[in-house]
Amino acid sequence: MQQVKLGIIGGGTVGSGVFEALARNGSLLSSRVGANIKVHRVAVRDLHKKRATAIPKNLLTTDWREVVCDPEVNLVAELIGGTTVAREVVLTSLKLGKPVVTANKALLSAHGEELFAAAKKYGTNLYYEASVAGGIPIIKSLREGFVGNRITALYGIVNGTCNYILTRMKLEGADFGAVLADAQKLGYAETPPDLDIDGHDAAHKTGILASLAHGFWVNPKKVYVEGIRHISALDIKYAGELGYTIKLLGTVKKLEGSCRVQASVYPTLVPNAHVLASVNGVFNAVFVQGDIVGDALFYGRGAGKDATASSVLSDIGDAMLDLKTGIKNRLPAFVPHECAGAVAPISEVVSQYFVRLNVVDKPGVLARIATIFGQSNIGISSVIQPEGHEGESVPLIFMLHYATNGVAAKALAKISKLPTVKGKPVMIRVESFEQ
């Protein structure tokens, strides 16, 4: 059989995980693809660092160029993360005509269009299944399994840290800060945790999914991002009483009668009856609606050594098959096919809303607030004013009918200026999953 010699850039959690997975299942992969795979060189930052999986010293180097430029290496796996050196690694490999496998969502989000163009120019390919949702094969599904579908909507729980925090808050009634501290102790959250809890990691992944689903490259700056810092135990509690679970969702939807697409990440009230409401802990899930297939759910581990390694091996298998057959662009990394596509600003996106206010408990307050909503043409579906609260202010919860985000934000800005409203209003969008 033809032999594929792999060069790995990065020997950290993912890199060593891929090395371990190949040692375990490389022969299985080879027999299924019909070509042999062998790790030829591995570039690492520190030759003496102790790793969970030992890599033979004769394979190691600290110079990634020794790996990429080695004439015997005909496939490169970029597994170092970041967007500077990683970009140089990928571009150099592609210019040499070598296909690249990457797990780097930040790199693709920031430079995907450039990298895909380079792959096309130099007649090779870029594989990136592991960049979104760990071991869940969502990239392959969008590119191959749903190639005959128009994707009408896509919803993703794609950040395990946020899902773990929100799950604990719901099950235990705990506050955000306490659960975040536990998540950091357990290794589920970084220090600092901003990339995860402020929604940026999920936004990288959501932008990639939006690009694949709708055929135009989504500029990451156009993805609306809102994290979970402002979600309190009270919000979790009252959402539950109304029949909802709060999840950080990456949402991709085509606006009705338009070529424009919603691409956003924000906390969302999900009906408890919907399957995404039961995705707990560090698990990820992507819910896809296609015009022909209908509803489809992908569920699994969204991060970690083994889950990511599984997706990297999948891409390595695809690359081996392409090298074996000599068809360098059997399935191009990205095919732009919607020239008129664009991301709609969040102000134009229509949603339902959960709103929590802290108000002075006296007659006439509810009427004033309802008047502002009415003047803004926003309907109120329900109001909850819980009893038993003491102090200067009490919570007041509204469920609002459909309105654009821009109109809802302006209404809340007016409401927040009322002397009887204390603190900043909390607004969380509600998703019905209806098309």
| Identity at 60, one-letter amino acid code | L
- Cβ contact 161:358 at 8 Å: no
CA dihedral sign, ordered 404, 406, 407, 409: positive
How many CA atoms lie within 13 Å of 215's alpha carbon, on the beta-carbon side?
Answer: 16
Chain position carrying tokens 């600003």: 345
Name the 3-class secondary structure at 384: strand
Say how far apart CA 84 and CA 102 lie, in whole Å.
14
CB 40 within 8 A of CB 9: no
260 contacts 340 by C-beta, under 8 angstroms: no
Q: What does the alpha-carbon distance between residue 182 and residue 351 come to, in Å, rounded to a whole number? A: 33
Catalytic residues: 205
Please give the sequence-ordered ranges of beta strands (E in DSSP) within 34-193, or none if there are none: 35-43, 60-61, 75-78, 100-102, 126-127, 151-157
Angle between helix axes 105-121 and 200-214 (nearest 10 degrees) is 30
